[in-house]
Amino acid sequence: MKRPNTQKLKDFLEDAIINGRLLPGEKLDPEALSKQFGVSRTPIREAIQQLSASGLVVVLPKKGTFIAKVSFDQLIEMFEVMAEFEGMCGRLAARRITEDELIVLKAALLRCEDPAIRANPDDYYYENEHFHNCIYNASHNAFLATEARQLKQRLKPYRRLQLQIRGRVTDSIQEHRNIYSAINAGDAALAEERLRQHVLIQGENFGDFAVRVKAYSDLSREPIQNARNSITK
């Protein structure tokens, strides 16, 4: 799958931040990124804006862009809220989905199951995103769908990180099948519960996820604080 330069650059920086290749307080060098990726400053600027919206970088006026520190507790809280949003969308979709929307949802499910897609966690992530968007649309609640999409965007780096855990893509596909089955059957309560469980990080997956994120979040944020202090002086 071909992705725009901005998206590819953002995905690369997300991975570097989450996996500790870029450390809290480290300053991004737009010129170096431009040379490394062979792109203009425009996609770099757009990628930085998106990373800032996700809370992964801090843009300090006249100082530059610095890697931010992740609050693990806040991250888990956001996943909990995301699970509730997803569950609500699933419950409403099971009651309100149209026949045409059900066809689109089934197509999105089959796309996720494509061997070429599931072999690459990043490619799978974007097809997975489309599957969830179909459910948001089928909820026929524009406010809820907007809130869910905004929070999902903030969590994107960590949801992508989840998919790198061994066996997670296979599990996710089976969960999608179960979700589709519940929505297709019009079982609102079951669709809500299956979507909630799909988003929540539990059991061994939680342990694996926690180790990777905490290793990053425990790093010092002093360089960022020092840069902020120098602005106010």
Handedness of CA 134, 97, 105, 189 (dihedral sign): positive
For residue 86 the two structure tokens come to 């997803």
The per-residue pLDDT for 160 is 80
What are the tens digits of pLDDT across the range 73-119?
777 888 899 999 999 999 999 999 999 999 999 999 999 999 999 99
Q: What is the pTM of this model?
A: 0.70
| pLDDT > 50? residue 233 | no
Mean pLDDT of 139-164: 88
Mean pLDDT of 216-233: 40
Contact 60, 231 (CB under 8 A): yes
The per-residue pLDDT for 22 is 81
The per-residue pLDDT for 208 is 67
What are the tens digits of pLDDT across the range 41-61?
888 989 898 888 877 889 998
Spatial separation of the C-alpha atoms in residues 69 and 77, rounded to whole Å = 16
Question: Nearest-CA neighbor of 145 among 160, 157, 135, 155?
Answer: 135
Spatial separation of the C-alpha atoms in residues 113 and 126, rounded to whole Å = 13
The per-residue pLDDT for 102 is 98
For residue 117 the two structure tokens come to 């897609």
| DSSP code at position 140 | T
